[in-house]
Structure 1
Amino acid sequence: MEHGEPQAGAPIDPAIIAAFKTVATAVISDNLQRLPGATNLRPFYAGSPMAGVALTVNTAPGDNLFIHRALDLVKPGDVIVVNGGGGETRALVGEIIAAIARQRGAAGIIVDGAVRDSNVLMNSDFPVFARAVNHRGPYKNGPGAINVPVSIGGMIVAPGDVVVADADGVVAFAPAIASELLEAVRGQEQREAEIMASIRAGRYRGAYAE
């Protein structure tokens, strides 16, 4: 299978995506009942938090043929989200793929698998998240699929979902709830700011915040 259904629905307001770049994934998770979120994926870059729209890829562990094919479909603001089966024995993404994705306007890459060229990636501000590092390169045989629901770190991501990632982790959600979620997140940020102010003033007597 080469391609799934194209991303559906009206494009999400870029201002909402930009706003989520300023929001901690922990706070987003809190307002999604602390349920969604990928585990054991960490950043391999030196930049700011990432937010964008999911361009999803399913690929066999250790094989990146369909990642290369997805690069031809990248639109500005897309996050390439790859289910590599959690494989750590071969790298699926390295310096070249990251450079191509960046040049084509991608907001970042998330790989449930391994990367290489980690020193280059770690000194770049282009967002790359992955499970591990391995110098061994990938096969390019397939199979795979593009724009289908994928599982990364135990979280399901659908094509077109909003994806936000920072030093704490990766979370994704449907664009239909983005505006409501952002409002809830801003409310929590305000409450937490008030808690921090009360702590600094020696007045905090509340219940557990986290």
Structure 2
Amino acid sequence: MPASHPALHLFVTDFATTDLCDDNAMLLEDGRLAVLPPVFRHFGKRERFAGRVVTLKVFEDNALVRAVLETPGEGQVLVVDGGASLRRALVGGQLALLAQDNGWAGIVVDGCVRDTVEIDSCDIGIRALAAHPRRSAKKGAGERNVRVQIAGVPVVPGDWLYADADGILVAQQRLA
């Protein structure tokens, strides 16, 4: 990413999820910090990303995903509850490029992506259940900024998400 990118300073990259778990055992115990199950695959150039959460709840329709990614990301992470559908992709190469260009730190999709070669050329971190070639519907159905469940873990707008090679964490507060 060019040094002139306005959101560059907002990207949190100096962490390890293993250390965050070790250093925040009490938060894990009382539920203020949760670990997503290890069912997500990594896509995009950015293996490690973190940021404040914006949520979407959609099912096999990505019109709202595009609408959100068209806005300034300011280092945030878009968490998409796609109902764990393995029948259509919710994010493809165009949306990954849009997310990169608009300063999103990453995207977590409880569903599928497509155009993985294009996604892997973008400076964005994406986690999804799988790749699928079929595109989504474009009707605009869904909800934004609502509490969602991602692989059984509740995620609320404003939570903090941390992702690296070892896993994905969701915290109710920013972790040191």
TM-score category by the smaller chain?
0.7 to 0.9
Q: Which runs of 4+ in 1 moved over 6 A?
A: none
Task: For 1:81 and 1:74, locate their aligned partners in 2 and report how far apart those are by CA, in whole Å.
Answer: 15
Match of 1:43 in 2: 42
1:7-156 correspondence to structure 2 within 5 Å = 18=12, 21-30=13-22, 31=24, 32-33=27-28, 36-39=34-37, 40-60=39-59, 62-156=60-154
Give the C-alpha shift of residue 83 in structure 1.
Answer: 0.2
Larger Rg: 1
TM-score of the aligned structures, taking structure 2 as reference length? 0.82
Give the C-alpha shift of residue 149 in structure 1.
Answer: 1.1
Residues 46/103 of structure 1: CA separation in 2 closer, same or farther (3 Å cut):
closer
Match of 1:197 in 2: none
For these two proteins, the number of residue pairs brought into alignment is 161
Give the C-alpha shift of residue 158 in structure 1.
Answer: 0.8
What residue identity is the alignment partner of 1:45? G
Task: For 2:76 and 2:62, locate their aligned partners in 1 and report how far apart those are by CA, in whole Å.
Answer: 18
Residues 69/46 of structure 1: CA separation in 2 closer, same or farther (3 Å cut):
closer
Match of 2:156 in 1: 158
Q: Which runs of 5+ in 2 are unaligned?
A: 1-8
Task: For 2:106 and 2:76, locate their aligned partners in 1 and report how far apart those are by CA, in whole Å.
Answer: 7
Task: For 1:28 and 1:89, locate their aligned partners in 2 and report how far apart those are by CA, in whole Å.
Answer: 34
Q: Which runs of 5+ in 1 are unaligned?
A: 1-13, 183-210
Match of 2:3 in 1: none
Structure having the higher helix fraction is: 1
Which has the higher mean CA deviation after the structures are superposed, 30-39 or 48-57? 30-39
Residues 43/101 of structure 1: CA separation in 2 closer, same or farther (3 Å cut):
same
- C-alpha contact 2:16 2:164 (8 A) present in aligned 1: yes
Task: For 2:145 and 2:107, locate their aligned partners in 1 and report how far apart those are by CA, in whole Å.
Answer: 15
Give the C-alpha shift of residue 68 in structure 1.
Answer: 1.8
- C-alpha contact 2:61 2:136 (8 A) present in aligned 1: yes
**Secondary structure at 2:35's aligned position in 1?**
coil
Task: For 1:50 and 1:135, locate their aligned partners in 2 and report how far apart those are by CA, in whole Å.
Answer: 25
Residues 82/101 of structure 1: CA separation in 2 closer, same or farther (3 Å cut):
same
